[in-house]
Amino acid sequence: MSKTLIADLFAETLHLAGVERIYGVVGDSLNGLTDSVRRQGKIEWVHMRNEEAAAFAAGAEAQLTGRLAVCAGSCGPGNMHLINGLYDCNRTRVPVLAIAAQVPSGEIGSNYFQETRPEAIFRECSVYCETISDADQMPRTLETAIRAAVGHRGVSVVAMPGDVALRPTTGTLARSTGALLPPPSTTVPADADLASLAAMLNGAKVTILAGRGCRAAHAELVKVAELLQAPVVHALGGKEFVEYDNPYDVGMTGLIGFSSGYDAMMACDVLLMLGTDFPYRQFYPVKAKVAQIDLIPENLGRRTAIDIGLVGDVGATLRALIPQLMGESDGAFLQSARENYADARKGLDELAHGTPGSGILHPQHVARVVSALADDDAVFACDVGTPTIWAARYLMMNGRRRLIGSFNHGSMANALPQAIGVQSAFPTRQVVTLSGDGGLAMLMGELLTVRQLGLPVKIVVFNNGTLGFVEMEMKAAGLIETGVMLDNPDFAAMARAIGLHGVRITDPGEVEAGVREVLAHPGPALLDAVTARTELSMPPKITLEQMKGFTLYMAKAIISGRGDAVVELGKTNAGLLKRLF
């Protein structure tokens, strides 16, 4: 029987699974595999500057395409860099295969140079994690990893010593792509359970909380809202799938949401949760009955007590439920929620402007203009912290645009590497980041990746000189901000120095021209938006403790000689403070 190298069979299996590229950083323990990829010429090696960024990039590709994406790291420190991005991929539930090279097999257990234990390290952020230590394991272990990643929509990790990759194997390639990739199945609850849910919903004052699980259920969601005359509140992960063409949407809830979304949940008799694992328990109603539909059983009742929990695909389950909904509501509750939303939306929109010549550049203004000028099918990647706030509140979705971020894992520095993954998979599509200055700085080396690969990513940097969300948390707790200040360079000048197009704006009068120039540039471009450091972002639920905290902060700031910060906070947030008080 003819034999082939394990590395060759590995690469052939990835190609059969539809893999088009591998994101990673090369190293000697990966040499067998990377050489096979080079010789076969079927898969692109995307050279990143950091393996963490490689994992984020692979996750973004998988999130946009729905297909298996791959990242790789060499032994020890190389693959350990993958872990933060892989945590994000697994928590976002996207199919990603991580290749973790290992030290020579004969040295394992000897505290060899760069030796680690990949199976122990990656077990907590994966649905499957195994080591290929023998030729007879190929391709079975790899095929199992692929099926686990695709079937469970999560991360699979395959560790492999460099010398094992160069051994011959008698293993054979899977018989077909269909045999390698399990087709998705559809799960619908039993008729009796659907009848119980319908009985709870009919005639009640219902609010719907919709999340990422509604990605393929927009029409069904809107129909249920129509029949029940129910306001729809969306979690951040559901924004891109729920918000558009939805007359029942009343905004987001949570720490960065709208007051209207919070109020609609607090005032309902029944909360219907659809495909969401919204984590903040303090934003759930206490007295309302709760019904939850989710494909993942462990999500049911995890965040709040529920009265009915059904396992099922949201779209298919709603289609089965719709004939049993009576549509008896008079619509008064929905009308009130819609009026509340219109007022909240008006208030936020009023903050997204600026006076030319004032020198106070509001980040909301930048986000609003980016949304207005970006392509109808643009993909946005936002960093955590305040860029996520501006994305959630001011980027308008339409069913073709996409919005991704580190919404579950909450990692800094995600936006730029995610944009690289999206742009690699969709070279002609407009990809825009909303980057924080802290997030960009953390993985700034990936700007060199963008330049080297010639990816036309548009990077919008909210340059406010601080870790803004952390600073606000400190102020809300009554603390003087500590360790948050960022001594930033001129990011636009830095971008130009490394070969990117760079534009810097410092005044509201420059926003539209600056955004338009960067978005229109044919290659990679960076907009350095020098925004106000003291911009506040108030949560929809302002607690007494937070109000006391801000008061205490202002007193401490004045006593410690930081009265100028209090004055600046007042100037920057005059519009917001006027609405609040």
384 is catalytic: yes
E strands within 55-186?
69-73, 96-102, 128-131, 155-161, 168-169
Tell me, yes or no, if 114 is annotated catalytic. Answer: yes
Single-letter amino acid, residue 173: L
Q: Whole-angstrom Cα distance, residue 349 to residue 346? A: 5
* Of residues 272, 275, 271, 301, the one with CA closest to residue 285: 271
Catalytic choice (51, 61, 220, 243): 51
Catalytic, 469? Answer yes
User: Angle 258-564-546 (CA atoms, 0-180°, nearest 5)?
Assistant: 35
Separation between Cα atoms, residue 272 and residue 159, nearest integer Å: 42
Catalytic residue, from 114, 137, 292, 418: name it: 114
Q: Which helix (H) or strand (E) holds 448?
A: helix 446-453
| CA atoms of 579 and 386, how far apart (whole Å) | 20
Helix (H) or strand (E) holding 425: helix 415-425
Catalytic residue among 113, 328, 335, 545: 113
* Span between the terminal Cα atoms of the chain, in Å: 81
Among 344, 333, 336, 369, CA closest to 251: 344
Query: Which is the catalytic residue, given 157, 232, 290, 384?
Result: 384
Give the residue among 209, 327, 191 at the shortest CA–CA distance from 262.
209
Q: Shortest CA distance to 169 belongs to which of 30, 27, 31, 36? A: 36
What's the CA angle centered on 281, arms 278 and 282, to 5 degrees? 125
- In the numeric block, the tokens 């330049």 are attached to 451
Upstream peptide bond of 285 is cis (omega within 30 degrees of 0): no
**381 in helix, strand or coil?**
strand
Active site residues: 51, 113-114, 384, 469
